[in-house]
Amino acid sequence: MVETLRLMAVHAHPDDESSKGAATMARYVAEGHEVMVVTCTGGEAGSILNPAMDRPEVLENMGPIRREEMRRAAEILGIEHRWLGFVDSGLPEGDPLPPLPEGCFALVPLDESTPPLVEVIREFRPHVIVTYDENGGYPHPDHIRCHEVSIAAFEAAGDPDRYPELGEPWQPLKLYYSHGFSRKKLVAFHDAMLARGLESPYDEWLKHWDDGKPDVIERVTTQVECADYFPQRDEALKAHATQIDPTSRWFAVPLDLQREVWPTEEYELARSLVDSTVPEDDLFAGVREKVITG
Q: Is 11 annotated as a binding residue?
A: no
Does residue 143 have a known ligand-binding role?
yes
Give 97-104's long-range contacts (Cβ < 8 A, gap of 24+): 100/141, 101/45, 104/45, 104/141, 104/142
Which has the closest alpha carbon to 33: 3, 10, 11? Answer: 3
What is the C-alpha to C-alpha distance for residues 173 and 286, in angstroms, rounded to an integer? Answer: 9
Q: Is 160 exposed, middle or buried (0-12, 13-18, 19+ CB in 10 A)?
A: exposed
Give me the DSSP letters along 33-75.
-EEEEEEEE--TT-----GGG--HHHHTTHHHHHHHHHHHHHH
Three-state SS at 269: strand
Q: How many residues does the chain have?
A: 294
Round to whole Å and give the CA distance between 214 and 184: 11
The answer on whether 13 is annotated among ligand-binding residues is yes
Cis peptide before 214 (omega within 30 of 0): no
Annotation: binding site for Zn(2+): 13, 16, 143
Annotation: binding site: 13, 16, 143
